[in-house]
Amino acid sequence: MRIHEGNFAYDLEQPRDPQTQLALNWRFTVYQLRPSEQVLAKGEADTQAEAEKKAKSTISRLVGKERKVAA
């Protein structure tokens, strides 16, 4: 599922082990959407909430860096 946050977005997914079909750790991918879609960060977490928190934290840091460059 992709969640948009302004100029950024993140995906959350919980893949399954192909042999056992057991759920694995949650993965997140952070994208910059403009001028073209680009992967900026990837990571893993034990829970969906933790993965979402890490993705949002990554986006907050990136937005902060954008503001510093613009100033």
Q: List per-residue pLDDT tens for the chain, 71 residues long.
A: 788 988 899 999 999 999 999 999 999 999 999 888 999 999 999 999 999 999 999 999 988 877 777 66
Instruction: Please report where in the chains the tokens 């995906």 appear, as a residue.
Output: 11
Any residues with CB less than 8 A from the CB of 3 and at least 6 apart, and which? 9, 10, 11, 12, 52, 55
Provide the number of structural domains found in the chain. Answer: 1
| Full residue range of the structural domain in which residue 30 is found | 2-70
pLDDT at 71: 62
Provide φ and ψ at 62, rounded to 5°.
Answer: -65, -40
Task: Give the global pTM.
Answer: 0.84
Alpha-carbon distances of 31 from 21, 23, 60, rounded to whole Å: 28, 24, 13
